[in-house]
Structure 1
Amino acid sequence: MSELSAHKVMLGDVEVSRVVEVGRFPLPTEVIAPEVPDEVWRGNEKWLAPDHWDPGSGDALAVMQTWVLRSEGGTVLVDTGIGNGRERPGVPAFEGLDTDYLGRLAAAGVRPEDVDVVVNTHLHGDHIGWNTHNAGGSWVPTFPNATYLVPAADHAFYGPERGDAVRVDHRYGFADSIAPVVEAGQAVLWEGTHRIDSHLTLESAPGHTPGSSVLRLKSGTDRAVFVGDLLHVPVQILEPCCSSAFCEDPKEAAASRVRVLGRAADEGELVVPAHFAGPGAVEVRREGEKFAISRWV
């Protein structure tokens, strides 16, 4: 099975599929984890390569992907990638993308009209792009029957009210991927916690962005937490106080990371980040004030 194929697993009564938009995307380690010493990467080369780190270039590796959850008869998408045909000034890697994302969703058994809920864990451009698609020159919701769950704090932070205080690529992303679903009446702005169904609950985990969130899954004896960009790369499990250069508030992001990883270790939650390649999910344990990887899943 190729990296771009759908993978499925059952967690209790919830089916989880993984749909990759862009595979193994290089990111400079000094950007994605600037405070992590080079010796941490080198010292863990045996398991970081080849999925998470390229020892030759020194780049970290990430994927752009969506998690598809089928729960209580509904279909939930967790983050929607970069999207096709976008203008992203300052982010050339996201500019004018053309992938078969919708075809890969279809291969996972999901048509746009089947989607009931879209979760944007936060409003960075690589998590919101397929919220919409271009139809006759206008951006319209890709998933016509879905409720889009949008963190209220991010909506305020990246919205037009702040004008030029918002970085230009974020302004473009808001305009083409968030504003159209709000205008269509399909968005719910939430804060604090939001219950999707008896298995799935959104919780605020700020720092990476003001509205960054995690999605908790609890079904039978199985537990998982979809952490978005709380973790970009696995070395942040080993060095949880190290945030990326993309974090709006690095200290708050680190505090959220330590809190979420601590609960995952204590309660046996499977940790499912947005961008991990390879197996994609991980079990963690405490090691003093830090954490370690118990098992890849």
Structure 2
Amino acid sequence: MQSETAVHHVGDAVIVKIPELALDGVDPTHLYPDADTAIAREIGRGFGPGSVESQTGLLRKSIHSWLVRTPDRVILIDTATGNDKERPAMPILHRLDEPFLDRLKAVQVDPEDVDVVLFTHLHVDHVGWNTRKVGDRWVPTFPNARYVFSAREHAYLAALSAGDGSDAAIRTEAGLGRMVKTPLAGVYEDSVRPVVDAGLARPIMVDGAEVEEGFSFLPSPGHSIDHACIRFASRGESALFWGDVLHHPMQAVRPDWNSVYCEFPEAAQASRRWALNHAAETGALVFTTHFAESSAGRVTRDGDWFTWDFA
């Protein structure tokens, strides 16, 4: 269940959601393996039917990108899952045929119009529309864009793809502690390496510095090895693109719950608490990647607790 596309204004920018998939009927104890069923059900009662199905307690989620238009640029943040990708290990994402580019065109943006693509991280459902299939080749979907992402995250995926054992040194350098999973195989080969080979990639350090006018990458590792929240600032206003630091507003109530997709569990918990604190302290308008409904909102603090309210 997708809500109608809302238009958000942050400074000089206009921000809209470009939907790809609506994910309904998600079992909270599958998404959050540490969650107790009764507690999850009780927390779920605090959310409307756009986020939690009232009769079953199952969750509603979304996969989408964010389009940011400034007076002189067209920016995409994350690129969802993509069509025709071989994902047999994740059937819901396998060989999709979704009208994502038509939805982009509906807001008057063609692939050639995109100037910059920014990535919170390089997981399967954040990089898929980087490329499209032409014959038997994967070619960049946005041929005039700079694709900006973490240099460490890219190096890690390249090392895993090479299978030469060099990924261990990258994990050691990152210092994130225990690892419980690695990124899905095949994603680097069809969705990341082609844009690198085309000379369109701009790997960066995730250190809070401005990397494109108005945009900075704030470290929030754990869900992936160098996950970033992306901050946008314009005319005294700010937006925060959260990526996968939270997957559902339920985690605002239970930030100790990691998703089944988090690679470094202790680091993911620490980054989630940081992200909630940062959003509450700054008052930034937060744009999420997997929350349903409007997918945007604000965080407030109440003592040791946090509250999420949709925009």
Normalised to the residue count of structure 1, the TM-score between the two structures is 0.92
Does the Cα contact within 8 Å between 1:91 and 1:169 map onto a contact in 2?
no
Q: How does 1:244-259 map to 2 (within 5 A)?
A: 244-259=259-274
Letter in 1 for 2:254: E
Q: 1:180 aligns with which of 189, 194, 200?
A: 194
Does the Cα contact within 8 Å between 2:123 and 2:183 map onto a contact in 1?
no
Moved more, 145-154 or 53-62: 53-62
Measured after TM superposition, the shift of residue 150 of structure 1 is 2.0
2:206 equivalent to 1:207:
no
Measured after TM superposition, the shift of residue 45 of structure 1 is 3.9
Moved more, 23-32 or 80-89: 23-32
Match of 2:91? Answer: 92
Letter in 1 for 2:292: A
Measured after TM superposition, the shift of residue 58 of structure 1 is 3.7
Q: How does 1:40-79 map to 2 (within 5 A)?
A: 40-79=39-78
* Structure 2: tracts of 5 or more residues without a match: 169-180
Measured after TM superposition, the shift of residue 130 of structure 1 is 0.3
The CA distance in 2 between the partners of 1:169 and 1:85, in whole Å, is 19
Match of 2:280? Answer: 265
Letter in 2 for 1:204: P
Measured after TM superposition, the shift of residue 260 of structure 1 is 1.6
Does the Cα contact within 8 Å between 1:4 and 1:21 map onto a contact in 2?
no
Measured after TM superposition, the shift of residue 252 of structure 1 is 0.3
Q: How does 1:1-297 map to 2 (within 5 A)?
A: 3=2, 6-159=5-158, 160-162=161-163, 170-193=184-207, 194-293=209-308, 295-297=309-311
Letter in 2 for 1:104: R
Residue aligned with 2:33, SS = coil
The CA distance in 2 between the partners of 1:45 and 1:30, in whole Å, is 12
Residue aligned with 1:181, SS = helix
Runs of 4+ in 1 over 6 A off after TM superposition: 164-169
The CA distance in 1 between the partners of 2:298 and 2:182, in whole Å, is 37
Q: Residues 4 and 45 of structure 1: is their aligned pair in 2 closer, same or farther, counting only changes over 3 Å? A: closer
Q: Residues 161 and 122 of structure 1: is their aligned pair in 2 closer, same or farther, counting only changes over 3 Å? A: same
The CA distance in 2 between the partners of 1:198 and 1:188, in whole Å, is 14
Does the Cα contact within 8 Å between 1:34 and 1:245 map onto a contact in 2?
yes
Q: Residues 8 and 233 of structure 1: is their aligned pair in 2 closer, same or farther, counting only changes over 3 Å? A: same
Does the Cα contact within 8 Å between 2:182 and 2:263 map onto a contact in 1?
no
Moved more, 215-224 or 118-127: 215-224
Q: Residues 163 and 58 of structure 1: is their aligned pair in 2 closer, same or farther, counting only changes over 3 Å? A: farther
- Write out per-residue CA displacement over residues 105-161 of structure 1, whole angstroms, 9 at most, x where no aligned residue: 000111000001111211111111000000121000000000111222221222223
- The percentage of counterpart residues that share the same residue type is 34
- Write out per-residue CA displacement over residues 196-254 of structure 1, whole angstroms, 9 at most, x where no aligned residue: 44422122210000011111022223222101000101011111122111100111011
Does the Cα contact within 8 Å between 1:149 and 1:189 map onto a contact in 2?
yes
Residue aligned with 1:24, SS = strand
Match of 2:176? Answer: none
Measured after TM superposition, the shift of residue 49 of structure 1 is 3.7
Match of 2:177? Answer: none
Residue aligned with 2:105, SS = helix
Residue aligned with 2:83, SS = coil
Does the Cα contact within 8 Å between 1:113 and 1:143 map onto a contact in 2?
yes
The CA distance in 1 between the partners of 2:144 and 2:248, in whole Å, is 34
Match of 2:174? Answer: none
Work out the number of aligned pairs and report it: 295
* Structure 1: tracts of 5 or more residues without a match: none
Residue aligned with 1:104, SS = helix
The CA distance in 2 between the partners of 1:190 and 1:75, in whole Å, is 20
Q: Residues 134 and 27 of structure 1: is their aligned pair in 2 closer, same or farther, counting only changes over 3 Å? A: same
